[in-house]
Structure 1
């Protein structure tokens, strides 16, 4: 199982979640919402083989935490994965849109200077702005658009730019989410939960529930669950080989 976008540190008992991740053999990318959270999450994760930690500054927090951008840039040389980063254009965050764009550009520029990073990217209500930035910084690394919710035209542009996509059970509950997933290149798709924000009823999704979305993907694609799981694993291996080659 693969959960390529999960906020491990924000669970009520992250240690218990990590222990269960180990027991189930789940591969997890633990994203962070602020640079200050990265070191703490790395300490929490320790030397677990299947869990990696991404260095992030969530766009929803940029207005309050943009002073941490220099800290993020200083930590980047030691971070193989970057996220959650991006731009949020939804109504509560439009007042900080220009600041978000400037911060995202700065992070992409720094990633490019370091030879590129694997990046998990937030683009709610701002897909075109995110794609414009990625086009300006084509050497920033491998962009993975998490829970993509843009238009079909924006998705086509993202695919042409070489973007990857991560989808999860919460995204595929909606008809729109399933339509977008059906148009995504399967050889650049990974699974995610966005837990603990994404939920399963009254409870947060857990990393080992990322593959719950395979039932919907099977209906969308006509490809069986086991074959889909195999392809997702192959995609992760391919992504790891890209990362190894760029170091």
Structure 2
């Protein structure tokens, strides 16, 4: 199983969330929302070979945490994963669009200077704006649009720009989400939960819940579940091989 976008540090009991993921043998990308959270979140995954921790500055926090960009830059050489970053165009955060864009552009510039990173990107109601930024920074790395909820036309544009996609169970609950699943480039798809923010029946989704997406994608793609699982694992391996692991100065898992 693969959960390529999960907030392990934000579960009520982060240690228990890590133990469950390890026991279920889930490959996890543990994203962070602020640079200050990265050290502690990385420590959660110490010794866990299937968990990687991404360095993030969430767009919904950009107006409050933009002064942490210097810390972000200092930490960036220690990990090849960046996330959660991006833009958020929902009504509650539209007023902060300028600072969001400034932060996101800075993150892309820093990533390009470091030779590129794997980027887990938030693009809610800001699909075209995110794609415009990515086009201006082609050396930033491999963009993975997490929980993409734009239009089919935007998805096709993102595909043309080389984007990947991480998809989770809540996308299967609407006709528009299922339509997007059918259009995904199958060689650039990974699964996710976005737990603990995403919930099922009032319970936060956990990394081990990402496995339900195999059946959903098998239906969307008209494939056998085993073939879908093999495809997803192959995608993860190809992404993992795309750039070497850094050597963390701190000795913590990246």
TM range (shorter): over 0.9
SS, match of residue 47 in structure 1: coil
Q: Is the 8 A contact 2:80 2:246 kept in 1?
A: no
Instruction: Give 2:205's aligned residue.
Output: 205
* Number of the residue aligned with 1:144: 144
Contact 1:57–1:84, Cα closer than 8 Å, also in 2: yes
For the residue of structure 2 that corresponds to 1:28, the secondary structure is strand
SS in 2 for 1:84: strand
RCO (CA 8 Å, sep 6+): is it higher in 1 or 2? 2
1:124 aligns with 2:130: no
Query: 1:128-177 CA deviation, whole Å, 9 max, x = no partner?
Result: 11000000000000000000011111111100110000001012221111
1:28-177 aligned at under 5 Å gives the runs: 28-177=28-177
Superposition deviation, residue 246 in structure 1 = 10
Provide the C-alpha distance between the structure 2 equivalents of 1:107 and 1:73, rounded to a whole number of angstroms.
8
Retained in 2: the 8 A contact 1:56–1:85?
yes
Partner of 2:189: 189
> Alpha-carbon deviations, 1:1-36, whole Å to 9, x = none?
000000000000111111111111111000000000
**Mapped partners of 2:117, 2:42: distance in 1:** 17
Contact 2:79 2:246 in 1 (8 A): no
Distance 1:36 1:246, change over 3 A: closer
Q: What is the DSSP-based 3-state SS (H/G/I as helix, E as strand, rest coil) of the residue aligned with 1:244?
A: coil
Q: Kindly report the root-mean-square deviation, in angstroms, between the aligned alpha carbons of the 2 structures.
A: 1.3
Aligned equivalents of 1:94 and 1:151: distance in 2? 19
Give the TM-score normalised by structure 2: 0.95
| Cα distance in structure 2, aligned partners of 1:208 and 1:149 | 23
Report the CA distance between 1:114 and its aligned residue: 0.5
**2:2·2:210 contact (CA, 8 Å) conserved in 1?**
yes
C-alpha distance in 2, partners of 1:167/1:44? Answer: 24
Q: Which has the higher helix share?
A: 1
User: d(CA) in 1 for partners of 2:19 and 2:219?
Assistant: 32
Aligned 8 A contact 1:55 1:72 in 2: yes
Separation (CA, whole Å) in 2 of partners of 1:13 and 1:212: 23
Aligned equivalents of 1:140 and 1:61: distance in 2? 21
Residues 1:134 and 1:246: Cα distance change in structure 2 (over 3 Å): farther
Closer, same or farther in 2 for the Cα pair 1:137/1:237, shift >3 Å?
Answer: same
> Is residue 2:233 matched to residue 1:233?
yes
